[in-house]
C-alpha cells in the first residue's frame, strides 16, 4: 500500500470514527482530516530534532527545523519505496 493509499485510508477511518463517536471526535471536513497524514512529517522532524538534542548537535544536527522537515520527507519517501519493493519481492 502506497503512502497516499494509507493517507486516504487513515483519513476515511478518522472521518468514520468522527461520525460513529460524535461526542468524542470532531472533524470539520475531510480536508481537515487529510492534514492529519501530512502532520506526520512534522512529527518525524520533531523526532529528528529530539534525537539531535540527546545525541548532541556536534554529532548529529540540523541547520533549521525546515532542514529536519526536508530530511523527514526524504526519509519517508525512501522508506515507502523500499517497503513497496520489499513487499513486491516477497509477495510473488
Closest CA to 52 of 67, 73, 74, 39: 67
Between CA 73 and CA 42 the distance in angstroms is: 9
Query: For the chain, what's the residue count?
Result: 92
Cell, residue 39: 502532520
Report yes or no: 34 and 13 within 8 Å, Cβ to Cβ: no
Residue 88 confidence (pLDDT): 63
| Residue-level pLDDT, tens digit, the chain, 92 residues | 676 777 788 788 878 888 898 888 888 888 877 777 778 888 989 999 999 999 988 888 999 999 999 998 888 888 777 777 666 666 66
Amino acid at each position: 500500500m502506497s503512502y497516499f493509499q494509507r493517507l486516504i485510508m487513515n483519513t476515511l477511518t478518522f472521518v468514520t470514527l468522527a461520525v460513529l463517536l460524535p461526542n468524542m471526535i470532531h472533524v470539520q471536513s475531510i480536508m481537515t482530516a487529510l492534514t492529519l497524514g501530512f502532520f506526520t512529517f512534522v512529527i518525524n522532524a520533531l523526532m529528528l530534532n529530539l534525537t539531535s538534542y540527546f545525541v548532541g548537535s556536534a554529532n548529529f544536527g540540523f541547520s533549521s527545523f525546515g532542514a529536519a522537515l526536508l530530511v523527514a520527507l526524504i526519509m519517508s519517501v525512501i522508506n515507502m519505496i523500499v517497503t513497496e519493493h520489499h513487499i513486491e519481492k516477497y509477495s510473488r
